[in-house]
Amino acid sequence: MTHRYIKIGVTALVLGLAFSGMLWSTLREGTEYFKNVDEVIGKHEEWQTKRVQLHGYVVPGTWVQRPNTLDYKFKVQNNPARGVMPGGVVEASYTGLLPDTFKDEAEVVLKGKFDSSGHFRVEKDGVMAKCPSKYEAAAKSAQAGS
Amino acid sequence: MASLGSFLLLAAFVTCSYAAVVSVVGARRGSRRLIESGIGAFYLVCALMSCASAVMINAFLTGDFSIKYVAHSSDSVQPLFYKITSYWGGLDGSIMFWVFLLSVFGAIAVYVNRERYRELIPYVVATISAVQMFFLYLTVVHKNPFSTFLTGAPPDGEGLSPLLQNFYMAIHPPSLYIGFVGMTIPFAFGIAALITGLLDDSWLRAVRRWTMFAWLFLSIGLFLGMIWAYEELGWGGYWMWDPVENAALLPWFTATAFLHSVMVQERRSMLRVWNVTLVITTFFLTIFGTFMTRSGVVQSVHAFGDDPMLAKLFTGFMVTILTVSFGLVIYRLPLLKARNELDSWASREAAFLVNNWILLFAAMFVLFGTMFPTLSEAVTGERLTVAAPFFNKWMAPVGLALLLLTGTGPLLAWRKSALKNLRDQFLWPLTAAVVTGAGVMALGIPLWASGLCFALCGYVVGTVVQEFWRGGKIRRKNTGTDMVTAIIGLVGRNKRRYGGYIVHVGVVLICLGFAGTGQKKDLQVLLQPGQEAKLGRYVIRNDGVKVNDDGAKQTVTAYLPVFINGKQVDTLYPAKWYFRKHEQEPTTEVAIRRTLAEDLYVVMAAPPEVKDQSASLEIFINPLVNWIWIGFGVIALGTGIALLPERAYSFAVARMPVEAAATTTVALMVAFILLGGTTTFAQHMPGAARDENIQSSYYARNDFEKQLQHEIVCTCGTCGHANIGECRKDPCGTSHLMRAELATLIDQKKTHDEIIQWFVTKYGDQRMLGAPIDKGFARLAWLVPYLVGASGAVMVGFAAVRWSRRPEHAAEAAPAVDAEIDERINDELRDLD
């Protein structure tokens, strides 16, 4: 009987180790830091080497497109409507197609890295704008009311 | 009206608590009358919820904007269909809709099973009532969908985002809810079995159909969400491992595991603890998914807004579920002991067990990945996230392992497979795998993961075909019929098994589509007028961008002829639509050229450069993607067969001449595939440009002609019954002809009805009339709330009359017993073979 339990135990141990090893290695390359705009402002050196998902809101009137290209530039800030003071803005650049939901004041998550000047370079397909879910309606009215 | 709605919800809550308490007391005291009273109250909840739903739909239809919920999620100009679907569109209403569905399902489940599982029923009633109480509590106290504005009501509602005014999006949530809510019924029976200690396999028999039913709707819900994302969002894919998507996937994994392991318990009386655990876990995950998407715990691009209060309530509820359920499991562990042990690893039960482990691992892994940001924040203080590549890397081997088991399980015998047996069984499936694998390798597809996936698909198909073939051969010998009849008879005799195999084929088709993703190509370009782009074998030219306006929206459409080898094969019209009131939210109208081999998928970026007619495009080639949708169709077919009531099929086969039965089944299958194929038409045609091409393709010249073009359906058979206003594909000369006929008739100043009559006469029957003639449907839709309300009221009255009667004819239902016993014997006999 004990022999059987040893066998089961060793199998479980090996499987567990293999699993955690694989998890560890894939997590190391697969993870990204999720940061709000105010958490990274002025600290871009610190974040330069890391892949970041930057969460913020598009500053109205700041997004421009270089004519005849798919190059875009825009600025993001913290959401002023939620009572967080707009502590500053991050400039971002992107090449590619923007989603429909990308617009002034849209809530966005940008994937990419900071360059040495503090400019945020969004990677390919790295712009996610909040899906206009039906459930959003309640939040919207709460903001409007406040 | 609003106060009536609130009152009904409150009444439902009170009745629910009565049902819960009185059922438990009745069961403990052995009082039949108390139990009956509990069941009656349970039906009453269903009636009350129907009335409340009627009030809600009525408020939407009449545009009662004094109710906050109505004002937020609809407006007066919204199409009727979307007014009704707005009921479950928002947070508050969706919770109420949840209770409504649960009360209906609960009532049906109790009604069907009340005699056969007499001992379990009181606790089933109590459990479902408790769940209902939680959700009703949410609606009454925290999220009352009937709450009104304190000051004056707004003149019009805020309206629904145009992105969501999409047919798939309207039916996707209810399908998912049906799946989620349906999982409550097995849970309630499981809890009842645990409480009463009646842990033989009978409770499983009561719930396996419910689980299958809920599983089917969960699958359909996932499918609708995927196809919506693919056709409407325009990023070229259908699944991105977003937390909201994962929330729906989690219970699907555990429910799939349960559907398999339940067979092991029925056959071998093993895995009893495991099955109860799976039922509880599945239910828990449905609640957890609801919690995750509505409480703001997980950051998602389509999170539904955060609500700390709701999060607290849900957490309390989930902790209660876990403590009570697993407490009961531990309490009943002695009774849950397996009666058999695993004899050999080369047995079917072992295959099922491994399949269960992998499915559960998949669920736990997706859960881990979804919760990873929250976990990492709790542990390290940093919010770390994982993205789609991480999930894909892990889930690809998991999927392949599952596919391998899908092919292996059916080949193994119960208990133990003999060596000779193994060789006999595995020869053909393995050959199929090797041949397919070699074939795709020769085509230059890499072995990992697509190549392997294709090979395994061949393996599973080999297994399924062999099963059908061998079963059919034996049956042919026994009954002396031809092969087709024998196979149909085979399916009819053991619907669950062969329906299950058909589901496996569907899974294979879906996996084909997933494997195709490995060969996906994409290109982002900005094309000046006249410029061309090349991707794969396609060359796409920009013939210009045109702006149109049809009153409700402004459309910007690119005209893109597509060439293969220098020959034009199609024209694609990707567009942006700017709806009135929602100019800030353009919708992407993706242009898709669908073939079974691959989709050419073109998206136009916003905002298009109208001045110089240039178009910035993203072009994708998505190989094999349509097989995913077809696969879901096959899954629905297989599950449908497995779900058919015992007598339906034998009746159909027995009464029909053999050939007719065969043809009917084949026709059904073809119809199903065609239905799946109606989605092939995803491309929106550019709006009718006035005075343009009138002679060549008969664009509508006025509203009357436009209306008729949309009422008459093209009979060519290749466009999936598009109406003749939309069927403008090149190969379809029929629609051209029909439009020409229509134009002539209009020129002859015929009236609407005369023209319709002319078409009906010419084309034989009413097949060519577009289904929902607006007027009729509108009338019907207006009737819905009153019908629902009336039936609710009738149910209330019926209950009242019945209860006020003296219990003199209690022993009336005797004749039903025979049929019941028959069915039970049938069940048991079936399990023996």
Select from B90, B394, B526 the Cβ nearest to the Cβ of A135: B90
**Is A141 part of the contact surface with chain B (CB cutoff 8 Å)?**
yes
pLDDT at site B128: 96
Q: What is the CATH number of domain B162-344?
A: 1.20.120
- pTM score of the predicted model: 0.79
Confidence at residue B460, expressed as pLDDT on a 0 to 100 scale: 94
pLDDT of B95 higher than 80: yes
Residues of A within 8 A of B87 (CB-CB) are none
With contacts defined as CB-CB under 8 Å, which chain B residues touch A95?
Answer: 524
* Residue B750 pLDDT > 90: no
The beta-carbon neighbor of B586 closest among A100, A111, A131 is: A100
Find which of B644-648, B743-747, B784-788 is predicted with most confidence, using mean pLDDT. Answer: B743-747
Question: Which 8-state DSSP code applies to residue B67?
Answer: B
Chain B residue numbers with beta carbons less than 8 Å from the beta carbon of A33 are 382-385
Q: What is the CATH number of domain B694-768?
A: 1.10.8.640
Cβ–Cβ contact A32 with B under 8 A: yes
CATH of domain B519-626: 2.60.98
- Name the closest residue on chain B to residue A141, using Cα atoms: B72
ipTM over 0.90: no
Question: CB-CB: which of A96, A104, A134 is closest to B164?
Answer: A134
**Interface probe, candidates A31, A100, A136, A140, chain B, greatest B C-beta count within 10 A:** A100
The answer to which of A25-29, A79-83, B674-678, B821-825 has the lowest mean pLDDT is B674-678
A35–B386: do the CB atoms touch at under 8 Å?
no
Residue B306 buriedness (CB in 10 A; 0-12 / 13-18 / 19+)? middle
In this prediction, residue A136 carries a pLDDT of 40
Q: Is A79 a residue whose pLDDT tops 70? A: no
- Cα angle at B713 between B707 and B717, to 5 degrees? 155
Burial of A71 by CB count in 10 Å (0-12 exposed, 13-18 middle, 19+ buried)?
middle
Instruction: Name the residue facing A70 among B160, B372, B526 (closest C-beta).
Output: B526
pLDDT for the residue A145: 28
Question: Does residue B401 surpass a pLDDT of 60?
Answer: yes
Residues of B with Cβ-Cβ distance to A131 under 8 angstroms: 163, 233, 301-302
Above pLDDT 70, what percent of chain B? Answer: 81
Confidence of residue B328 (pLDDT cuts 50, 70, 90): very high
Specify whether the CB–CB gap between B124 and B188 falls below 8 A: yes
Contact A132 B163 (CB under 8 A): yes
Domain ranges of chain A: 1-31, 32-131
CA–CA separation, B756 and B765 (whole Å): 11
Measured N-to-C along each axis, helices B121-137 and B184-196 cross at an angle, to the nearest 10 degrees, of 130
Q: What are phi and psi of B587, to 5 degrees?
A: -105, 145
Q: Which residue has the higher pLDDT, A28 or B380?
A: B380
pLDDT on residue A58: 85
Task: Name the β-bridge partners of B67.
Answer: B148
A27/B373 touch (CB, cutoff 8 Å), yes or no: no
Asked if A34's CB is within 8 angstroms of B384's CB, the reply is yes
Task: Answer yes or no: is pLDDT of B134 > 90.
Answer: yes
Q: Is the pLDDT of residue A126 over 50?
A: yes
pLDDT confidence of residue B824: 64
Give the nearest chain A residue to B602 (CA atoms): A97
Chain length of chain A: 146
Residues B501-534 have pLDDT tens digits of: 999 999 999 999 998 888 888 888 888 888 899 9
For residue B77, what pLDDT band results from cuts at 50, 70 and 90?
confident
Instruction: Read off φ and ψ for residue B110, nearest 5 degrees.
Output: -70, -40
Query: What is the Cα–Cα distance from B121 to B649, expressed in whole angstroms?
Result: 29
What does R_g of chain B's alpha carbons equal in angstroms? 29
Strand spans (E) along B326-429 = 384-386
CATH assignment of A32-131, given 1.20.120.420, 2.40.50.140, 3.40.50.300, 2.115.10.20? 2.40.50.140
Ranges B186-195, B542-551, B674-683: which has the least confidence? B674-683
Q: Check residue B727 and give its pLDDT.
A: 64
Across the range B644-650, mean pLDDT stands at 62
The H or E element that residue B113 is part of is helix B91-113
The residue among A35, A58, A107, A133 with the most chain B CBs within 10 A of its CB, best to mutate, is A133
Give the containing element (helix H, strand E) for B709: helix B703-711
In terms of CA atoms, which chain A residue is nearest residue B393? Answer: A26
CB count within 10 Å of CB A44 equals 18
Closest of B175, B291, B182 to residue B243, by C-alpha: B291
Q: Is A131 on the interface with B (CB under 8 A)?
A: yes
Q: Listing from the earlier edge strand, what are the strands of the sheet with B538-541? A: B532-535, B538-541, B560-564, B567-572
CA-CA distance, B532 to B447, in Å (whole number)? 34
Share of chain B above pLDDT 90, in %: 35
Chain A CB contacts of B163 under 8 Å are 100-101, 131-132
Candidates B169, B301, B361: best to mutate against A (most CBs of A within 10 A) is B301
Instruction: Determine contact, residues B747/B759, Cβ cutoff 8 Å.
Output: no
Lowest mean pLDDT, pick from A17-31, B176-190, B283-297: A17-31
Q: Which residue has the higher pLDDT, B28 or B159?
A: B28
| Assigned token pair, B663 | 């043809």
Check A134 against B526: CB less than 8 A apart: no
Question: Among B90-94, B403-407, B749-753, which stretch is predicted with the lowest mean pLDDT?
Answer: B749-753
Residue to substitute from B95, B385, B614, interface A, most A β-carbons within 10 A:
B385
> Which of A20-34, B59-73, B515-529, B624-638 bottoms out in mean pLDDT, i.e. has the lowest?
A20-34
pLDDT score, position B782: 56
Query: What pLDDT score was predicted for residue B831?
Result: 55
Amino acid at B624: L
**A19 shares contact with chain B (CB less than 8 Å):** no
pLDDT at B807: 52
Measured between beta carbons, the chain A residues lying within 8 angstroms of B528 are 68
Beta-carbon count within 10 A of B622 CB: 24
pLDDT band at B288; cut points 50, 70, 90: very high
How many Cα neighbours within 13 Å face the side chain of B135? 26
Closest CA to B208 of B244, B245, B171, B260: B260
Distance from CA of B85 to the nearest CA of A (A): 11
Where does the pLDDT of residue B652 fall: very low under 50, low under 70, confident under 90, or very high at 90 and above? very low
Chain A: give the shortest CA distance to residue B233, in Å. 8
The answer to whether the CB of B238 falls within 8 A of the CB of B226 is yes
Contact A134 B73 (CB under 8 A): yes
- Binning pLDDT at 50, 70 and 90, where does residue B388 land? confident
Is there a contact between B614 and A134 if contact means CB atoms under 8 Å apart? no
Angle between helices B243-268 and B202-228 (to 10 degrees): 150
What is the C-alpha end-to-end distance of chain B, expressed in Å? 58
CB atoms B584 and A99 under 8 Å: no
Per-residue pLDDT for A138 more than 60? no
Residue whose C-alpha is closest to residue B527's, from B545, B513, B512: B545
**Interface membership of A53 toward B (CB under 8 Å):** yes
Mean pLDDT for chain B overall: 81
pLDDT at B770: 43
- Angle separating helix axes B121-137 and B308-331, nearest 10 degrees: 160
Q: Which pLDDT band, with edges at 50, 70 and 90, does B14 fall under?
A: very high
Distance between CA B749 and CA B764 in Å, rounded?
23
Q: What pLDDT is attached to residue B12?
A: 96
Looking at per-residue pLDDT, the higher value among B348 and B788 belongs to: B348
Report whether pLDDT(B762) > 80: no
Which positions in chain B touch A74 (Cβ < 8 Å)?
none
Chosen from B616, B618, B620 to mutate, greatest number of chain A CBs within 10 A: B616
Residue-wise pLDDT for B577-590, tens only, equals: 887 767 767 788 89
Higher pLDDT, A41 or B48: B48
The pLDDT of residue B806 is: 57
Whether residue B687 has pLDDT greater than 60 = no
Q: List the single range of A109-113, B460-464, B828-832 with lowest mean pLDDT.
A: B828-832
* 3-state SS class at A139: helix
CA B440: distance to chain centroid? 32
- What whole-number distance in Å separates Cα of residue B793 and Cα of residue B159? 31
